[in-house]
Amino acid sequence: MIRVETKRRLNCWEYKQCGREPGGAHIQDLGICPAAVEKKLDGVHQGKNAGRSCWVVAGTLCKGMVQGTFAQKYKNCEICDFYKQVREEEFPKFMLSALLLKKLSQSPDSELPRI
């Protein structure tokens, strides 16, 4: 029997150690990160909530500063070491940002099966 070990995929708050996840050390001063609670992207790239697709979520931190919308922050995200790691780990199944943004824009009802 061949045993394949899979490395557990880190979420952005674990990798960056920002402390903005629920129960984190910095939620009092920085607030809860929207990526840590965005359920529409749960499971994407094997992450919890938007923990492995944080670059498409507005209000995340970069270098200690809260970032704006995807359009405003994506250039910084492209050079982020965490973003690069997720792209590498998930290749060839890395989901493009356009697809992630589409998932974010869907209402919760649109995810229900049609009868």
Please indicate, yes or no, whether the overall pTM of this predicted structure exceeds 0.95: no
**Cβ contacts of 11-17, under 8 Å, gap ≥ 24:** 11/36, 11/47, 11/48, 11/49, 11/51, 11/52, 12/47, 12/51, 12/52, 12/54, 12/60, 12/82, 13/51, 14/51, 15/82, 15/85, 16/61, 16/82
More confident residue, 5 or 15: 15
Q: What is the pLDDT of residue 109?
A: 54
The predicted-structure confidence for 81-97, as pLDDT tens digits, reads as follows 999 999 999 999 999 99
Cα–Cα distances in angstroms (integers) from residue 77 to residues 7, 25, 28, 103, 106, in the given order: 23, 23, 25, 19, 23
* CA–CA dist 51, 35 (Å, integer): 6
Q: What is the pLDDT of residue 5?
A: 56
Q: What is the pLDDT of residue 3?
A: 61
Q: What is the mean pLDDT of residues 4-13?
A: 83
More confident residue, 69 or 108: 69
Q: What is the pLDDT of residue 110?
A: 47
